Amino acid sequence: MAALLARGHVLLEDVPGVGKTVLARALARSLHADFRRIQCTPDLLPSDVTGVAVYNPRDLAFEFRRGPVFAHVLLVDEINRATPRTQSAFLEAMEERQVTVDGTPHDLPRPFFLVATQNPIELAGTFPLPEAQLDRFLVKLSLGYPDAATETRVLVAQREAHPLTHLAPVADLTGLKEAQDAAASVHVHDAVLSYIQRLAAETRRHPGAAWGVSPRGALGLMRASQALALIQGARYVTPDHVKRLAGPVLAHRVIVNPRSRVQGVDGRTVVEDVVRRVEVPVEAALR
């Protein structure tokens, strides 16, 4: 939800069957939004995503047929099964909120929210996302296996029918835009801005990192923290909001050096170490 209110995108990486696709579909239905789903395969073409210009013999002209990327909520299932050429078709859509076909730009619907999934254990026939593509995702999340009580509730809820069939919208697009504007206006004290900057800078100096977090990552952490503060009913961003989101926002942007990777270090390990090291501003001075 923080990523949605911060106008970001989400990458869900987990094993099959834990509810990644259901989560995206449920969110779209809750928002009363236009929803599209793209199942990525190696033979998927960029034009299958963005759309294509088709010749109209009646008008003696080409007309643009929009692809599934023209939606408010877009689910890109198993994005790492698409070829790099097709993966690149999402870059402009995620950053500029537009696609360019035959030299003509076409604006995407607003708001535009992309949720991509990938399976980390089945690597045959997959194409790992390049760092430039990962950096376009505001957060990278893993659902994990549910606990015993939650899994039992899932079984009970789906004993006769899927709950999605009865899910009704709780907000419209106008309300969502207002909530996104409200998130952007949440106060961020200079001390918290400095804290976010120091977290990003420290990842660049960390001995386990070959490359640290970019300024886009620091900006994403600020925006996500504003959204989380709004969700929790706070009037300003606190260091706890920043620390809560540091892992999901920053870890996938850290490139670990080969020696540290062999020792079991990953981006999340680096970010957790940085959060422990960087001095936290006193909350009383932030109001």
pLDDT at 24 over 90: no
Q: Name the helix (H) or strand (E) containing 258.
A: helix 258-262
Amino acid at 49: V
* Cβ within 8 Å of residue 180, ≥6 positions away: 4, 5, 6, 7, 111
Average pLDDT over residues 1-20: 90
- The percent of residues in the chain predicted with pLDDT above 70, rounded, is 97
Percent of the chain with pLDDT over 90: 51
Cβ neighbours of residue 77 closer than 8 Å, sequence gap 6 or more? 21, 37, 38, 39, 40, 116, 117
What pLDDT shows up at residue 180? 95
Strands 104-107 and 98-101: antiparallel
Average pLDDT score, the chain: 89
Report pLDDT for 19. 83
CA diameter of the chain? 70
55 pLDDT band, cuts 50/70/90, is confident
Average of pLDDT values for 32-39? Answer: 88
Highest average pLDDT, of 15-29, 89-103, 113-127, 170-184, comes from: 170-184
Confidence class for position 283, pLDDT limits 50, 70, 90: low
Rounded Cα distance, 129 and 9, in Å: 15
Token output for 237: 């961003």
- The answer, yes or no, to whether residue 233 has pLDDT greater than 60, is yes
More confident residue, 21 or 148: 148
pTM: 0.88
Q: Is the CB of residue 36 less than 8 Å from the CB of residue 162?
A: no
Separation of alpha carbons 138 and 82, rounded Å: 20
Give the residue-averaged pLDDT of 216-221: 95
User: Which of 21-25, 80-84, 231-235, 258-262 holds the top average pLDDT?
Assistant: 231-235
Q: Compute the radius of gyration of the chain from its Cα atoms.
A: 20
**Residue 177's pLDDT band (boundaries 50, 70, 90)?**
very high
Q: Is the pLDDT of residue 168 over 60?
A: yes
Task: Show the tokens assigned to 141.
Answer: 């999340």
Residue 252 or 265, more confident: 252
34-41 mean pLDDT: 90
Residue 286, pLDDT score: 59
Q: What φ, ψ does residue 263 adopt, rounded to 5°?
A: -85, 5
Q: What percent of the residues of the chain are helix, what percent strand, and what percent coil, each to the nearest 5?
A: 45, 15, 35
Q: Amino acid identity of 126? A: T
Q: Please, are residues 112 and 70 in contact by the beta-carbon 8 Å criterion?
A: no
Please tell me the predicted confidence (pLDDT) of residue 284.
Answer: 55
CA separation for the pair 161, 256 (Å, rounded): 45
